[in-house]
Chains A and B, each alone.
Chain A
Amino acid sequence: MGSTSTKIKLRTSDQKVFEVEKAVAVQSQTIKYIYENGCPDSVIHVHSVSGDILSKILDYCKKHVNSAAGKEDISPEELYEWDANFVKVDQNTLFDLILAANCLKIESLLDLTCQTVANMIKGKRPEEIRTTFNIKNDYTIEAEEAVRRENKWAFDMLGGVGTMVIEELADDTMSKCVTNAKSRVCVIAANQIVMMRSISKLANKKSIDVYKQPQNPTTPRIKESVKQINVGTGFIELFFHFKCKM
């Protein structure tokens, strides 16, 4: 076992060489394994990581090693803040960091970066997630419908706080409601006359799901339907009441 001031050389995919202290480099389980089982003197190749990314990663490892060893007087809160600033990078860099942390097996960095992406996903609908990360939707319409139907409870955001009900409103008032809406779901009464195209456009812009009660002499008034739900029929049943999504 060498002393802690042993240095390890790392060569990146773009042929940059970094010399780092062993204690910092072995934060990566991959490097640790290679070092302990391979040739400790020659250079370790990290093929999948570029110089820029490795440089950032080594900053991270150094900070964490120093703080754990007490070499740097940094409180847990300060380290947490440092980590938060560390991941304030553009998406491409973030994904490169994730790939590198995965490949080099640096668990705490992988957790940190994955959590950052998870925070960007939380609360967004699939359409919004696709826009944020530039993901192509490769579902067929049937397949996507099947996924939504299999997990109706998650996609049905009806009921409770967050549903806007529109009944007996003039057209322009209705537009105003949708424009100013904070809710994600809008339910339009059966007897409400509606300019479908304009409302759809507005609603799509704001990512609001619009449901229209089907026209039917036996359809209960919206207020009764909503009351029924609150008494405990649950989301799944409500979906069958309002089948007609705009």
Chain B
Amino acid sequence: MEHLPVEVIGNILSHLEGARDVVIASATCRKWREAYRKHLHTLAFNSNDWPAYCDISPILLEILITRTIFQTTGLQGLSILMDDAGEFTASTVIAWFMYTRETLRRLFYNVPTSPNVNILAICGRQKLEILAVAHNSITGVEPNFQRFPCLKSLSLSHVCISALDLSLLLTACPKLESLELVDPEIAISDAQVTVELSSPTLKSIYVEAISLDKFILETDSIERLHLRDCALEVFELIGKGTLKYFKIDDVSVIHLDIAETVDNLEVVDVSSFTIIWTRFYQMISRSSKLRKLRLWDVTFDDYDEGIDLETIAVCFPQLKHLSLCYELRDGLMHYGLQGSSNLENVTVLELGWTVINDFFSHWIEELLKRCPNLKKLIIFGVISEAKSHEECQILAKFTSSIVRLMRKYMHVEVQFEYE
């Protein structure tokens, strides 16, 4: 340990991250103290690490954060994530960001400031690669003066920002690859709430808890798109067929258009959604490279004929992973099992029940026949807390029927997941 140079000790202390651990470790010996003062590159004040932060009043928190940050030099990563800490005063927060401005590459900050601080104007922009801001407002974005030449990852949570500022912000980040928007408060100027974002470099986008009339995303490099808990009237993705991963979860969207971008889709994951199968299928029909398809907790329109395995087998020959969970009405199931094409490459099958009944057992049986190269079967179920005797019997009967069924498929690994 004596032979380790002080910069390496600084690197080790940086991996501790939590400010309290780092400060305590710095009392070990003088070399470690010097490492802390001159060679520390990462520092975090996270209430997840040390819950006692929340017992300290905000004013005292500000003092201890200021004193600790100002003992360091050349900080590259700063994280202040305190849930339920109250508010910090603007002048102190400005001091922290200005002190670290020259060297900061990663900034995570989620405490409201009073009065509001325009973080984008104050924090170091030249070297910043990762920025995650929450519970603050962002106003007056000026792409000409405030550019983020190195920013690769941007995350805005519970942030108040106008649609215009948001789109200007993206133009101020010429290398942005990942964008995360969670529960933003989009200030509107028109009657229609429209967000139009454009970024030639964006590869991954995650949007949660947003409610808009129109959301248009234009990006030529997009690979991952994940929408969760959104209510959109129109969602349009304009791109060049680079999309590989598409996931929507508990989203209501009236008009969904990703048609031009689906040629290279590898994963489609849809849950808690109302599907009109023919329309949905038309949208992804060109995705011949599809490896994983998951349709979970989906409901079909009354007039819809539902999913049919024949279409899936023929159009997605490279499918390796299939996950299905929806209500098996009699008509749906029979239609779905028509045809005889096998799902040759499917090695993992996940099936969930909405209700345990004979349909479900029968369905599993039929699907097993259609997947000749299956290696793993996972059965998902929801078990209610109050179990009547009848329900227990049904579950037992189901378990027995699965045991009997799987004897015919000894090479397939079976797992059960109940919640």
* A→B interface (CB under 8 Å): 91, 95, 98-99, 102, 110-111, 114-115, 117-118, 121-126, 129-130, 133-139, 143-144, 147-148, 150-151, 153-155, 159-160, 230, 232, 234-236
Contacts and interface: CB of A to CB of B under 8 A. Distances in A.
B3 A133 contact: no
A160 B52 contact: yes
Contact of B29 (A99, A121, A139, A232): A139
B29 A236 contact: no
Interface residues of B, number: 37
A135 B15 contact: no
B3 A111 contact: no
Q: Across chains A and B, which 4 residue pairs bring their CB atoms closest together, nearest first?
A: A118-B15, A154-B23, A126-B27, A153-B64
Nearest to A101: B8
Interface stretch (B53-61, B98-106, B320-328): B53-61
B25 interface: yes
A236 B14 CA distance: 26
Interface of B: 1-5, 7-8, 11-21, 23-30, 32-33, 52, 55-57, 60, 64, 67-68, 71
B25 A129 contact: yes
A232 B57 contact: yes
18 contacts: A91-B1, A98-B12, A99-B8, A114-B11, A118-B17, A121-B12, A121-B16, A122-B16, A130-B28, A135-B2, A135-B32, A139-B30, A143-B30, A153-B20, A154-B20, A155-B23, A230-B55, A235-B60
Given A129-B25, A154-B24, A110 B11 contact: yes
Contact of B8 (A98, A137, A144, A232): A98
Contacts of A126: 24-25, 27-28
Most A CB contacts (10 A, CB to CB) among B15, B20, B23 go to B15
Contacts of A124: 24-25
A133 B18 CA distance: 20
B21 to A, nearest CB: 5
Given A130-B29, A138-B30, A159-B55, A102 B24 contact: no
Given A102-B8, A153-B60, 15 more contacts: A98-B12, A102-B7, A111-B15, A121-B12, A121-B21, A121-B25, A122-B16, A122-B21, A125-B24, A129-B25, A147-B33, A153-B20, A154-B19, A160-B52, A235-B56
A160 B17 CA distance: 23
Contacts of A102: 5, 7-8, 11
Most A CB contacts (10 A, CB to CB) among B8, B32, B68 go to B8
Nearest to B27: A126
A234 B56 contact: yes
B46 to A, nearest CB: 13
B21 A99 contact: no
Contacts of A125: 24
Contacts of B1: 91, 95, 133-135
Contact of A99 (B4, B16, B20, B28): B4
Most B CB contacts (10 A, CB to CB) among A114, A129, A148, A235 go to A114
B4 A98 contact: yes
A151 B67 contact: yes
A118 B27 contact: no
Contacts of A95: 1, 3-4
Nearest to A113: B12
B29 A135 contact: yes
B112 to A, nearest CB: 19
B52 A147 contact: no
A92 B24 CA distance: 24
A114 B55 contact: no
A151 B24 CA distance: 9
Contacts of B57: 232, 234
A235 B55 CA distance: 9
Nearest to B7: A102
Contacts of B25: 121, 124, 126, 129
Contacts of B24: 124-126, 154-155
A78 B18 CA distance: 28
